[in-house]
Structure 1
Amino acid sequence: METLMLWLIAILLILIPLALIVWLIVWVVAGNRKDEKELKEFKERLRKAKPLTGTAKEVFIGTYLAR
């Protein structure tokens, strides 16, 4: 009975860190995919954006020159 408990504890001590490592890998991969999707959407919006004209263009140039 005692050896069975020791084996169960040993198995748990091995499985818990492995589960955490797998969870961390899944979390990182999912986050990376989300970032790639957002970047792709941003590039698409930027490509479709109209060029600045009038007051907006003047404000942008003034802000850029003020740096």
Structure 2
Amino acid sequence: MNKIQLIDVNGNNISSTRCYEEHIPTITDLRKWILNAGLRIKYEYGSYNRTPINKETTKAIIWAVKE
């Protein structure tokens, strides 16, 4: 079981206990989710310096727009 606990801006405690597996999404997963949400990917970068996403990328910055 995994417990998530958040405190909102008003100081309210929000918690949830769920059973789930953690999964690091691939760039393909992210692209699919974005497109399935009805968005279009305008830009995607592998760093804040706007380098391309590649196999060594540890983060993805994706700019998507609503169509």
Q: Do these two structures clear the TM 0.5 threshold for a shared fold by scoring above it? A: no
Higher helix proportion: 1
The one of the two structures with greater contact order (alpha-carbon pairs below 8 A, sep at least 6) is: 2
Higher strand share: 2
Greater Rg by CA = 1
The two structures have a TM-score, normalised by structure 2, of 0.26
